[in-house]
């Protein structure tokens, strides 16, 4: 068997039909996305009495994140976990998750909004479906934190601070708003660059910071929760539309029940890595907590960036954002 080429889906072949799907992720074994896909595959297999077999692909073999998006669009793979950041150059609205201090500080509250939001699950989904991508759910892999070579607790600390960021104009704007010098830097050079001070800080969820050992070369970690690393469970739109009703229901149900599962999973991983980072006495990292006033100070600087999103990024004049803000306000 070569793992492919078998009939996958489309027309309903009645009893005894087997389904072989491919599910690609942007992370490797042990990390949240990959574990999610594995658990999803396991549940689908059990529910279908072994009729559904899902091969989970970790990051690496199938190319870059952008490549994986294209593979989902072309139906080369049926399912994918993707973060909207990597599709932000196609579905512009998806950059919404890069906005800082938009969602509540609590990841749990954020996850509830992600679960229920019509702006995301209906409006944003429609925009994705124009590109053959159907996001079935949105979930947090954890809140993003800042690590730095010095203490960051108020916007002034970002003054003349070389912050490693992605290259998208929205993210650059977000850090310029604090007075930082956003510095694009390739991932593979980041560890060395932080070690030598070529750049002074970076942002990621805690599990990733710990996994990539960035705490070894950084002295401070600010629990900023400035936004969330949001991932989407996506399927190829045409493929999904072609599933028989029974199978579609099974997929939808599993997607829904996985929301709680992945919340617990990311919570566990982020808590465990936080302990690891705290307990690493060889490479001590001071954990900086923000007071309400300090958070408010950052939020004040971050809010005007929403206008940049509305005018320069959004293709629908920020309608998705405005609706989402209403939903967030209602939830808080």
Partner 1 sequence: MIATMLIIMVVLLFLNFPMMIPLMAAPLVIMFIYFPTLDPMILMQQFSTGIEPYVLLAVPLFIFAADIMTTGKTSNRLLDFIGSFIGHIRGGYAVTTAAACTLFGAISGSTQATVVAIGKPMRERLLKIGYKDPSAIALIINSSDVALLVPPSIGMIIYGLVSGTSVGDLFIAGIIPGIIVFISFAVYSIIYAKMADIPLAGKASWSERWTMTRKAVLPLGFPIVVIGGIYTGLFSPTEAAGVSVLYAFILEVFIYRSVHIKELPKIARSTGLVTSAVFVLVAGGQAFTWVISFARIPQMITETVLGTDPSAIYVLLMVTLFFFIGCMFVDPIVVILILTPIFYPAAMSAGIDPVHLGVVITFQAALGSATPPFGVDIFTASAVFNKPYLEVIKGTPPYILILFAISGLLIFFDELSLFLL
Partner 2 sequence: MKVFKAVDKIILKIEEFILSYAVIIIALMVVGKALSRALFSYSPPFADEVSQIAIVVATFMGISYAARKGRHISMSAFYDLAPFKVRKFLSILIPFGTAAVLFVLAYYSSLYVQDVYESGRVTSALEMPAYYLYIFIPIGFLLGGIQFLRNMWINITNRDEVYLGTDVKDYNDEDTNDLEGTHL
The contact set with partner 2 (CB under 8 A) reads 66, 70, 73-74, 88-90, 131, 160, 162, 166-169, 172, 181-184, 186
Cα–Cα distance measured from residue 134 to residue 111, given in angstroms and rounded to the nearest whole number? 19
Residue 230: which region, alpha, beta or left (left: phi > 0; alpha: psi -120 to 50)?
Answer: beta
Packed helices 319-331 and 107-116: angle between N→C axes, nearest 10 degrees: 120
Site string for Na ion, 204-233 (x = CB under 5 A): -----------x------------------
Q: Is 70 in the site for partner 1 (CB under 8 A)?
A: yes
Between 183 and 270, name the residue whose CB sits nearer to partner 2.
183
Q: Is 126 in the site for partner 1 (CB under 8 A)?
A: no
Of the candidate residues 25, 117, 285, 294, the single one contacting Na ion (CB under 5 A)? 285
Q: Would you tell me how many other CB atoms lie within 10 Å of the CB of residue 122?
A: 11
Q: Would you tell me how many other CB atoms lie within 10 Å of the CB of residue 64?
A: 12
Q: Is 166 in the site for partner 1 (CB under 8 A)?
A: no
Q: Out of partner 2, Na ion, partner 1, none, which partner does residue 191 contact, by CB within 5 to 8 A per kind? A: partner 1
Nearest distance in Å: CB 165, partner 2: 9
Q: Is 254 in the site for Na ion (CB under 5 A)?
A: no
Q: Out of Na ion, partner 1, partner 2, none, which partner does residue 89 contact, by CB within 5 to 8 A per kind? A: partner 2
Nearest distance in Å: CB 97, partner 2: 15
Cα–Cα distance measured from residue 331 to residue 325, given in angstroms and rounded to the nearest whole number? 10
CA–centroid distance for 57 within its chain:
17
Q: Is 64 in the site for partner 1 (CB under 8 A)?
A: yes
Q: Is 68 in the site for Na ion (CB under 5 A)?
A: no
Cα–Cα distance measured from residue 53 to residue 40, given in angstroms and rounded to the nearest whole number? 11
Of the candidate residues 35, 58, 93, 203, the single one contacting partner 1 (CB under 8 A)? 58
**Cα-based angle 6, 9, 13 (whole degrees, multiple of 5):** 95
Q: Is 197 in the site for partner 1 (CB under 8 A)?
A: yes
**Contacts of 85 by beta carbon, 8 Å cutoff, 6+ apart:** 94, 95, 97, 98, 166, 168
Phi/psi at 45 (nearest 5 deg)? -65, -45
Q: Is 315 in the site for partner 1 (CB under 8 A)?
A: no
Site string for partner 1, 254-283 (x = CB under 8 A): -----------------------------x
């Amino acid at each position: 068997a070569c793992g492919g080429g078998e009939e996958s889906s489309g027309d309903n072949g009645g009893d005894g039909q087997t389904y072989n799907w491919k599910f690609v992720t942007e992370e490797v074994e042990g990390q949240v996305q990959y574990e999610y896909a594995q658990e999803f595959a396991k549940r689908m297999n059990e529910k279908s009495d072994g009729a559904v077999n899902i091969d989970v692909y970790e990051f690496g073999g199938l190319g870059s994140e952008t490549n994986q998006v294209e593979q989902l669009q072309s139906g080369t793979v049926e399912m994918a976990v993707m973060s909207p950041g990597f599709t932000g150059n196609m579905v512009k609205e998806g950059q919404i998750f890069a906005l800082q201090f938009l969602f509540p500080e609590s990841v749990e509250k954020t996850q509830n909004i992600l679960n229920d939001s019509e702006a995301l699950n209906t409006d944003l989904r429609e925009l994705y479906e124009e590109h053959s991508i159907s996001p079935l759910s949105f979930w947090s892999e954890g809140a993003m934190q800042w690590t730095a070579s010095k203490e960051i607790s108020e916007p002034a600390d970002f003054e003349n601070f070389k912050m490693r960021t992605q290259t998208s104009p929205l993210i650059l704007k977000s850090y310029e708003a604090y007075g930082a010098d956003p510095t694009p830097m390739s991932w593979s050079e980041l560890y060395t660059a932080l070690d030598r001070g070529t750049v002074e800080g970076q942002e990621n969820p805690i599990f990733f910071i710990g996994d990539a050992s960035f705490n070894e070369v950084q002295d401070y970690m600010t629990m900023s929760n400035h936004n969330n690393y949001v991932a989407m469970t996506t399927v190829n739109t045409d493929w999904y539309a072609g599933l028989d009703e029974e199978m579609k229901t099974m997929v939808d149900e599993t997607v829904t029940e996985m929301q709680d599962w992945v919340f617990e999973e990311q919570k566990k991983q982020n808590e465990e890595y936080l302990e690891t980072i705290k307990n690493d006495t060889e490479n001590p990292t001071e954990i900086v907590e923000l007071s309400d006033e300090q958070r408010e100070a950052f939020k004040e600087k971050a809010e005007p960036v929403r206008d940049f999103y509305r005018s320069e990024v959004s293709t629908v004049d920020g309608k998705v954002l405005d609706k989402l803000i209403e939903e967030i306000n209602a939830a808080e």
